[in-house]
Amino acid sequence: MTALFINVDPVAMLRQASQETTPDPIAGALLAEIAGVDGVVCHLHEDRRHIQDRDLRLLRKTIQTQLILEMAATSEMVGIALDVRPERVTLFPESDTDTAGKVNLDLIVHNKSIAETVGAIQSNGIPVSLFIAPEPEQIKLAHQVGTDGIHINTYTFCSATGVNKRRQAMAKIVDAVKLARKLKLTIFTGHGLDYTTIKAFKGLSEVEAYSIGHAIISRAVLVGIDRAVREMRALIDAL
């Protein structure tokens, strides 16, 4: 069964914006687990704009499914990952604004440093994925640096306007998934996926997990997190 991971960053974003103690991303994660998610994703930014160190450590202590830590390839973050020991680390480019869905790791430019970070984390028994664009060269380089898997960025597809642009973007994702499978990489996808765009992935059985945050949390504001998760779970089960 294809997995559904919920990203709880949007819950932390609301909390930080209001400068209050609620809503609580840990409570959101626990409710999402009850509703049927297979893992919880959080992104610890270097500036701690959303998820805080305390959130990460509480998630590690409380959730019963997988914990996936998204982070930059820095020595500080590697140290935190090795201390907290999530089930998986996904390496992201770091930026000073909320553009994670638009910016990908560039393995042409940062090949050596990413390879070193991947090795440091894997040597401590933690699998690593890389957040990359659906481009053949990037996928081949991901394989060369020894990563366990990739997280294919779906933002371009989800934000495409017009039938042709969306078809072209989806075709690139399909080709990327097929190539990654040939290279025996674990395949996750996400960023921008919602209750409509997820339907375009029907038949793409090579994808092992979808990581979705904003769409589910936005829906949860209206109908509650239990229903929001169950609706997305049903859509993924039908793919």
Catalytic machinery residues: 43, 70, 191
- The amino acid present at 215, given as its one-letter code, is A
Residue 56: alpha-carbon gap to chain centroid: 15
Instruction: Give CA–CA dist 127/87, Å, rounded.
Output: 7
The alpha carbon torsion through 157, 162, 163, 167 (nearest 10 deg) reads: -30
Helix (H) / strand (E) containing 3: strand 3-7
User: Other CB atoms closer than 10 Å to residue 33's CB: what's the count?
Assistant: 18
Across the chain, how many H-helices and E-strands are there? 10, 8
